[in-house]
Amino acid sequence: MNTELVVIDEKNIDDAAKASIDKAGNIIKSGGLVAFPTETVYGLGGDALNKHSSEKIYAAKGRPSDNPLIVHVSDMDALTKIVKEVPEAAKKLADAFWPGPLTMIMNKTDAVPYETTGGLDTVAIRMPNNKIALELIKASGGYIAAPSANTSGRPSPTVARYCVEDLSGKIEMIIDGGQVGIGLESTIVDLTSDEPMILRPGYITADMIKEVLGKVSIDKTIIDSTSTLKPKAPGMKYKHYAPKGELTIVQGPMEEVIKYINDKAACAKKSGKRVGVIGTDATKDKYVADIVKSLGDREDENTIAHELFKALREFDDDKVDIMFSESFDDNGIGQAIMNRLLKAAGHNVIVL
């Protein structure tokens, strides 16, 4: 299949851009797939109400079909058709955070095929905060099922180049809308039981949700790597975000971390391995390795979040065999950063 690539500037959706979005909308309406930007990561979109589109999404990503997709909407009215009831909590959270990086789980109606929800009676819904995405949803009939636009298991794409790398030849169109703003996938909150529960941490933190609802719990499996319980979001059980090389997180006093990583890097280099290090602005000049990447200022967690998947992908581009990363605080959005980093490392952590 020939994959058409179009470039659209979110800040200037002119007539040509509108025509491209209409074309993309028609592709989705007629059962095809389009990768598009959101504020979190790029999504791989198909018609959420068409089971064949969802099947195509699983096939293009190489994703297990028991891992449900998020349905993207562009207005609140769209919910009526796809959920049995909009819980009060959902209305409050939508007021506070939509459009934005929050996905809410509710009970689905028959309009949503089980192919989209991985066999579940619940559906995950999000209204993304990106003009291209919102226009595309409207042009597509109102409901786009979209997982992150990467091959299953790889880091989510934060630039269109990585959608091209993973999906070229497998889908009809890729919309390049530049680098995304946030860089980590949305927070997922389950609203189908009395106590709202966070199933995947993201930019919208537990404290932010608590401020609106007064309460929220967190699925234990996402913070406790030794937990043997099954995560409530099926996707969280899979190995994820994995770069091609082997990644180890090193935790401890910074001087010791630097020394440990440099010793290990020297050993690995002697045996002919290509070594990469993930540090920060304050430490990047202290490492000796083939490639050293800074995720930015350690105190600026939004930048760290924004740079993480990009750094992991770039290590793949640079054919790095072994990687070491510093560890980060897990407060606020730091919880999402560490959740993704730990998964990328297969929970391979050295504590000094």
**Does 124 sit near ligand TXA (CB under 6 A)?**
yes
- What letter does residue 17 receive in the DSSP assignment? H
Residue 69 or 323: the one with the smaller Cβ distance to ligand TXA is 69
Measured in whole angstroms, the distance separating CA 315 from the mean position of its chain's CA atoms is 18
Q: Which stretch binds ligand TXA (CB under 6 A): 158-166, 167-175, 226-234, 295-303?
A: 226-234
Residues 6+ apart with CB under 8 A from 101: 39, 40, 126, 128, 129, 182, 185, 186, 187, 202, 203, 204
Backbone CA torsion sign across 63, 67, 73, 77: positive
**Does 38 sit near ligand TXA (CB under 6 A)?**
yes
- What letter does residue 308 receive in the DSSP assignment? H
State which of residues 48, 83, 94, 123 lies at the interface with ligand TXA (CB under 6 A): 123
Q: Given its phi and psi angles, is residue 61 left (phi above 0), alpha (psi -120 to 50 degrees) or beta?
A: alpha
Residue 148 or 192: the one with the smaller Cβ distance to Mg ion is 148
Strand ordering across the sheet containing 275-279: 291-294, 275-279, 322-326, 246-251, 349-351
Q: Are 201 and 217 in contact (CB under 8 A)?
A: no
Q: Which stretch binds Mg ion (CB under 5 A): 30-38, 140-148, 206-214, 317-325?
A: 140-148
State which of residues 67, 109, 248, 262 lies at the interface with ligand TXA (CB under 6 A): 67
301: tokens are 């967690």
State which of residues 6, 17, 21, 233 lies at the interface with ligand TXA (CB under 6 A): 233
Nearest to 70 by CA among 118, 141, 23: 118
Rg (CA), the chain: 20
Q: Are 325 and 247 in contact (CB under 8 A)?
A: yes
Residue 40 or 280: the one with the smaller Cβ distance to ligand TXA is 40
Tell the smallest beta-carbon distance from residue 127 to ligand TXA (Å).
10
**Does 148 sit near Mg ion (CB under 5 A)?**
yes
**Does 186 sit near ligand TXA (CB under 6 A)?**
yes
Q: Which stretch binds ligand TXA (CB under 6 A): 1-9, 142-150, 160-168, 252-260?
A: 142-150
Q: Which stretch binds ligand TXA (CB under 6 A): 2-10, 74-82, 227-235, 288-296?
A: 227-235
Nearest to 89 by CA among 186, 217, 196, 202: 196
Rounded distance, CA 78 to CA 308, Å? 33
> Which of Mg ion, ligand TXA, none does 53 bind, CB closer than 5 to 8 A by kind?
none
Q: Given its phi and psi angles, is residue 208 left (phi above 0), alpha (psi -120 to 50 degrees) or beta?
A: alpha
Tell the smallest beta-carbon distance from residue 157 to ligand TXA (Å).
9
Residue 150 or 283: the one with the smaller Cβ distance to ligand TXA is 150
**Does 185 sit near ligand TXA (CB under 6 A)?**
yes
**Does 90 sit near ligand TXA (CB under 6 A)?**
no
Q: Which stretch binds ligand TXA (CB under 6 A): 1-9, 18-26, 181-189, 208-216?
A: 181-189
> Which of Mg ion, ligand TXA, none does 308 bind, CB closer than 5 to 8 A by kind?
none
Binding site for ligand TXA (CB under 6 A): 38, 40-41, 43, 67-70, 103, 105, 117, 120, 122-124, 126, 128, 146-148, 185-186, 188, 199-200, 232-236
